[in-house]
Amino acid sequence: MKINGQTALITGASSGIGYELARCFAQDGYNLVLVSRNTDRLNEIANEFTQQYGLGKVTVVGADLAQPDAPQRVYNEMNNQGIRVNVLVNDAGFGEYGMFATETDLQKELSMIQTNVTALVHLTKLFLRDMTTRNEGKILMLASVASVLPNPLMAVYGATKAFILSFSEALRNELKDTDITVTALMPGATNTDFFNRAGADGTVAHKQAMKTDAADVARDGYEALMSGKDKVVSGMMNKAQVAMSRVMPDPFITANVRKQMARPSNGNGQHEKEGKKQMATTGSLVGAVLILGIVALAYYNKARYTDFKLSDLHL
Amino acid sequence: MNGKTALITGASSGFGREFAKLFAQDGYNLVLVARQQEVLQQLSDELTQAHGINATVLAKDLAQPDAADQIYLECQQQGIQVDVLVNDAGLSEYGKFVESDLRKELDTIQVNVTSLVYLTKLFLRDMVARNEGKILQLGSTLSLIPTPLMAVYGATKAFVLSFTEALQNELNDTNVTLTILMPGAADTDFFNKAGAEDTKVYQDTKLSKPEDVARDGYEGLMSGVPRVVSGFKNKVQAVGAGMLPGSLMAAAMRDLMEPYDPDAERKKKITQYTIAGVVAAGVLTWLALGRNRRSDWN
């Protein structure tokens, strides 16, 4: 049992991976700032953590990050209360399921961009400035395997996650000479309220999600964050899928995701078909990993013997 | 005249302006969208006179959340059916994220991401209903490469690529096509506007000509190609970027995005040539010795 005096601010802390991340911090004696729209639920969580772990102080901030002024309000609130944020966890986000041209709700998609992208950039800007002044801090970004896999039937969601990964990797490079680290957590389908909220219940991906516990994903993210890793793909199958995305052509990858996003029709052949698909996928994965290994080895050798930079090739 | 209409955002300069010319040459009517009314009006006059087409000028700022809606309504009110949508408008901001201007970056997201999604939604709905239409999205080679010192810009372009590829899949069974154009660094006003005119990439690499890039994009769009990477070296880069780790690509891009220092570059090149020379000499010596040794054995 320890109290470490540091504070972690977690957006989207009322449920899912955000909630489980908050628990990781609570267990390690961090003070918490929990941000979400649902302050009732946040207060419950605050009580729960205080009773269970009783270590750090828990502050609840009600904010809807789909509102453009929310990040500034959250930041001001911290200043007013004299809270220094040592760890920022940008977890808040949601999806919207359906064909973009004919089915999905534009207003929901605009709110999604505001929450997943704009608010994330805005919060990062505000808190990173202070971290830079102190030369100390950690940021966790909720990316996804969808960051590297275009996501039909969730086209906007997948794109917001592609944004987050690119942004995180660029930022990490900019901060390489500082003591501030940026970590991207890339989960696959996880057993949270995500699919119901997106209207994607009953999809193949939703069924897969049932097998992955949000607590395990959060643990992977927390450990990567604490050790300052650049990114972590949670889960073996997801790691393989991400590796595969590097060597397979995009239309193939995209079509594969499309299958995962479909709602399976109820039939007897379904089980068999899924089994075959798994085998085919595993086969491709082994091939992909082999190719990756060769590429990595070739690169490693090259990098060992020369001060190799891609730009030296004048691409 | 072919009776069809192309709507082009960001039509006042750079690629957008070149697209307007290409469409006009092929007899398309135009809807030209940008912030500056006078510049657009001039371009409109020029193209209508030269090619006998109709052009409509809409002075709108896509950094405004309601701009996309206004553009769509305006087209409806004027009875214009948009057959081709070119989402060219884009902004950027240069500098370390911790120092760069937040307001400009929020505008960048609004223009490059939100307004692009918004316009695509409104016009794509009608295209799918007619089962006919074409959309060109401005991606970038940076869609594949995290971009230090332009972190938000690079991320917006990653968004555009992922979004476009997902839509291409969703529209597989229709006659509506989406094409993403991915240029590398080009000789447009982009770098000046972003405050990145001193960077190595702008000062010390061969920049594409906007008319060449636009021509590549136009041809890809017309033939319904999913992805157009303009320029040979950019094509090579795109293939590499797909396979190499993001952190490595980011480091390479960081080098290009740093301010250009001719002296440092010259020293770097001398070092590179020296190393290459020493390695070559070493290899030659080794070959020569190896041969001698072999001849000894014989």
- Taking CB atoms and an 8 Å limit, are B121 and A251 in contact across chains? no
What average pLDDT does chain A have? Answer: 89
Chain B positions touching A309 (Cβ under 8 A) are: 251-252, 255
pLDDT for B208 equals 87
Amino acid at A133: T
Same domain, B97 and B200: yes
Residue B127 sits in the same domain as residue B269: no
Closest CB to B97: pick one of A125, A153, A311: A125
- Report helix angle B37-51 to B14-25, nearest 10: 20
The CATH number that applies at residue B159 is 3.40.50.720
In this prediction, residue A268 carries a pLDDT of: 43
Which two structure tokens, joined as six digits, stand for B110?
Answer: 């609004």
Q: Best residue in B134, B162, B275 to probe A by mutation, most A CBs within 10 Å?
A: B162
Whether B159 and B195 share a structural domain: yes
Residues B267, B253 share a domain: no
Q: Distance (Å, rounded) from C-alpha A33 to C-alpha A186?
A: 23
All domains of chain A, ordered by start, with CATH? 7-235 (3.40.50.720)
Decide if A295 touches B, using CB distance below 8 A.
Answer: yes
Q: Cβ–Cβ of A309/B251 closer than 8 Å?
A: yes
Q: Between chains, do B168 and A254 touch, taking CB under 8 Å as contact?
A: yes
Cβ <8 Å between A152 and B169: yes
Give pLDDT, residue B274.
Answer: 82
Q: Would you place residue A141 in the very low, low, confident or very high pLDDT band (cuts 50, 70, 90)?
A: very high
- Tens of pLDDT, residue by residue over A103-138, are 999 999 999 999 999 999 999 999 999 999 999 999
User: What is the tens place of the pLDDT at every residue in A158-203?
Assistant: 999 999 999 999 999 999 999 999 999 999 999 898 998 899 999 9
Instruction: Name the minimum distance, in Å, from the CA of B88 to any CA of chain A.
Output: 18
What is the tens place of the pLDDT at every residue in A7-55? 999 999 999 999 999 999 999 999 999 999 999 999 999 999 999 998 7
Left if phi > 0, otherwise alpha if psi is -120 to 50, otherwise beta: which for B204? alpha
Q: Which residue of B has its CA nearest to A103?
A: B125
Q: Is B218 considered catalytic here?
A: no
Q: Is residue B8 a contact partner of residue B31, using CB atoms and an 8 Å limit?
A: yes
- Interchain CB distance below 8 Å, A315 and B275: no
Tokens of A272: 């068999």
Instruction: Give ipTM to 2 decimals.
Output: 0.88
CA distance A111 to chain B (A): 10
How far A247 CA lies from chain B's nearest CA (Å)? 6
- pLDDT of residue A267 exceeding 50, the answer is no
pTM: 0.87
* Count of structural domains, chain B: 2
Are A124 and B251 in contact (CB < 8 Å)?
Answer: no
| Residue among B109, B127, B149 minimizing CB distance to A117 | B109
Same domain, B207 and B294: no
Kind plus residue range of the DSSP H or E element containing A34: strand A31-36
Inter-chain CB proximity A173 and B148 less than 8 Å: yes
Domain that holds residue B92: 5-257
Q: Are residues B281 and B190 in the same domain?
A: no
Q: How high is the pLDDT of residue B298?
A: 45
Cα–Cα distance measured from residue A131 to residue A88, given in angstroms and rounded to the nearest whole number = 10
- Note whether B109 contacts A255, CB cutoff 8 Å: no
A80: closest CA of chain B, how far (Å) = 22
Residues of A in contact with B265 (CB under 8 A): none
Residues B180 and B287 in one domain: no
pLDDT value at residue B246 = 79
Closest-approach residue (CA) in chain B for A114: B114
Contact B113, A128 (CB under 8 A): no
3-state secondary structure string, A57-106?
Answer: CEEEEECCCCCCCHHHHHHHHHHHCCCCCCEEEECCCCCCCCCCCCCCCH
What chain B residue is nearest to A262 in terms of C-alpha separation?
Answer: B170
d(CA B202, CA B185): 7
How many other CB atoms sit within 10 Å of the CB of residue A242? 19
- The more confident residue out of A6 and B202 is A6
Residue A181 φ/ψ, nearest 5 degrees: -120, 150
Candidates A160, A258, A314; nearest CB to B169: A258
Catalytic residue among B153, B202, B218, B260: B153
pLDDT of residue A220: 96
- Shared-domain flag, residues B282 and B251: no
| Same domain as B124, residue B47 | yes
Interface touch A314/B170, C-beta < 8 Å = no
Helix/strand/coil (H/E/C) assignment for every residue in B236-282: HHHHHHHHCCHHHHHHHHHHHHCECCHHHHHHHHHHHHHHHHHHHHH
Q: Pull the structure tokens for residue B112.
A: 């490059």
* Chain A: residue whose CA lies nearest to B275: A306
Q: Which of B179, B187, B154, B163 has its CA nearest to residue B86?
A: B179
Contact residues, chain A, for B151 at CB < 8 Å: 166-167, 170-171, 174
pLDDT at B64: 98
Q: Are B40 and B181 part of one and the same domain?
A: yes
A243 in reach of chain B (CB within 8 A) = no
**Most A-contacting residue of B118, B147, B169 (CB-CB within 10 A), to test interface:** B169
Q: Are residues B236 and B298 in the same domain?
A: no
CB B216 within 8 A of CB B170: no
CB-nearest to B162 from A162, A172, A247 is: A162
Q: Residues of A with CB below 8 A from B178's CB?
A: none
* Nearest-by-CA chain B residue for A170: B148
What's the CA gap between A9 and A91, in Å, rounded?
10
Q: How far apart are CA B77 and CA B80, in angstroms?
A: 8
Condensed to tens digits (0 to 9), the pLDDT of residues A289-303 reads: 777 777 776 766 665
Please state the rounded mean pLDDT for residues A260-289.
64
Q: Which residues of chain B have pLDDT under 70?
A: 290-298
Please indicate, yes or no, whether residues B298 and B242 belong to a single structural domain of this protein: no
Contact across the interface for B154 and A166, Cβ inside 8 Å: yes
- CA pair distance A228, A181, nearest whole angstrom: 6
Tens digits of residue pLDDT in A209-261: 888 899 999 999 999 999 999 999 999 889 988 888 888 888 888 998 999 99
Q: What pLDDT, on a 0 to 100 scale, did the predictor assign at position A269?
A: 46
Cα Rg of chain B (Å, integer): 23
